[in-house]
Amino acid sequence: MAKAELFKGSWAWLMRAYHAFPVIRHSPDRTALRRAFGLLREGSAVVLFPEGHRSENARLLRAEPGAGFVARRSGAPLVPIAITGTQNVLGRQGKFLRRAEVDMTFGEPFQLPERNRDGSPMDHQQSADYLMTKIAQLLPLEYQGEYASSSLRSANA
C-alpha cells in the first residue's frame, strides 16, 4: 500500500513496477482495503507503512489506526520490519536519489493480542501502537521516536 499521491507524476511507474497499489490516506479507502484483504486471503504479503508518511527526523511517528484495523481484521501473521538509512537516499524535499546504505531488520512473526494488559479489548489505535512497539524494538534508540519508552518497557517485561 502506498499513498495515492505517488501514483500521480514521475514515481507512478516505479510504484506499479513494485506491484504497489494506492491508498487515500486519512480516510477509510474501501478500494485499498478490499485489495489488501483480498491479497492476504490469497496468501500474498501486503506491506504497509503504519505511520502513513516519513518523519522529518527519521524517528518513528505515531501509527495511524488504519494499520491496526488491517492487522486486526485480516488475522494475518505480522512481520515487523525496521528500515534505517532511507533519509540519506531521498530527503523529505529531495528530488534526486543518492547512493546510501539502507538497512532492513526483520523481526519474528507475531499475532496481535486480543486484549490489553488490563483485560480490555484492543482498539485499532492500540493495535497499531502494539505493532509499532515491535518495530521500535528492532531499531537503535535514536530512531524509536514515539515508541522509545514503550520499547524499553517491553524489553524489561
pLDDT at res. 57: 86
pLDDT at res. 70: 95
Closest CA to 58 of 89, 84, 37, 40: 84
pLDDT at res. 154: 54
Tens-place pLDDT, residues 118-146: 999 999 999 999 999 999 999 999 999 99
- Residue 14 half-sphere exposure toward CB, CA atoms < 13 A: 6
Higher pLDDT, 153 or 3: 3
Say which range, 41-45, 106-110, 129-133, 150-154, has the weakest mean pLDDT.
150-154
pLDDT at res. 151: 54
Query: How far lies 130's CA from each of 12, 42, 144, 151, in Å?
Result: 32, 25, 13, 10
Which residue type sits at 102? V
- DSSP assignment letter at 7: G
Tens-place pLDDT, residues 24-62: 988 889 999 999 999 999 999 999 999 988 888 889 999
Tens-place pLDDT, residues 5-29: 989 988 899 999 999 999 998 888 9
